[in-house]
Amino acid sequence: MSYVEIPLWRLAIAVLLVGVAILLSRFSRLALEKDLGLGAVRAAVQLIAIGYALRLLFAAEHPVAVFAVLAAMWVVAAWTSSRRAKHGPPSRVLFPYALAAIGVGAFVALVPVFVLVMRPRPWFEARYVIPIGGMMLSSAMNVVAQVFERLFASSRAEAATLEQYLALGATPEQAFAPYVKAALRAALIPTINGLVTVGLVSLPGMMTGQILSGTAPEQAVRYQLVVMYQLVAVAAVAGVLAATFARRLVFTRDAQLR
């Protein structure tokens, strides 16, 4: 065994760290004690459950099972991001657009890497496809949710300005361009910050996990670089698609503001 095993009784000690946050919330009157407590319990239940599920999945190593899990993660990510947009259309309207943006973004980031870079054997090997696919879907989910929320909020707050642009002859693309640019920049900032500070401010989670499990540091670095470059692609593709879909939902085919 090339890693330090953590018994359950030692894992329970880590719960005290959540207790620190709960106490600070109480003393600061943040009223977050319930959210922190339930969040900690939910995280434990979900992760323990997925741990056993992954154990079965890795043992089965069947492509149908692997892609069924990825599909479920994809649907949950799309549903979550569509529900986060408080100023836009209802989630049932946004869901297919979120599904498309997240799916295309993840596809662009995952397929070239698994075909040309990592090349797992077999190609559907769960211990590669599921964790890395999950990271891409999660990143796309966050970007899509942020772009949707910012653009729909801007379209409501700046409705008069947008109508003035349209009245002066601007196309929906021209009128909406400044808001799209601001939303995409905001959505990409966390990814860019991660690129420029990696190794200086923090060691990323995947790299840290591999080193703790006994992987040679230089190999862990290579894996982490691949993942970070994937995150750049998935954020850019999913963000641009989400912005395109948002513009179509904000304006009619006759170039009128909805």
CA 20 → CA 16, 40, 63, distances in Å?
6, 12, 43
pLDDT of residue 112: 92
Closest CA to 256 of 162, 183, 179, 154: 162
Contact 151, 179 (CB under 8 A): yes
3-state secondary structure of 134: helix
pLDDT value of residue 202: 66
The closest alpha carbon to 132, from 30, 223, 47, 41, belongs to 223
Q: Are 185 and 198 in contact (CB under 8 A)?
A: no
31-50 residue pLDDT tens: 999 999 999 999 999 888 98
Q: How far is CA 100 from the centre of its chain?
A: 14
Q: What is the DSSP string of 154-168?
A: HHHHTHHHHHHHHHT
What would the pLDDT profile of 227-240 be if each residue is shown by its tens digit? Answer: 999 999 999 999 99
Any idea where the domains of the chain sit in the sequence?
1-60, 62-250
**pTM over the 0.85 mark:** no
Per-residue pLDDT of the chain (258 residues), as tens digits, is 556 788 888 888 999 999 999 999 999 988 999 999 999 999 999 888 988 888 888 888 788 989 999 999 999 999 999 987 777 788 899 999 999 999 999 999 999 999 999 888 888 888 889 989 999 999 999 999 999 999 999 988 888 998 998 888 889 899 999 999 999 999 999 888 888 887 766 667 777 777 777 778 888 888 888 999 999 999 999 999 999 999 999 998 887 887
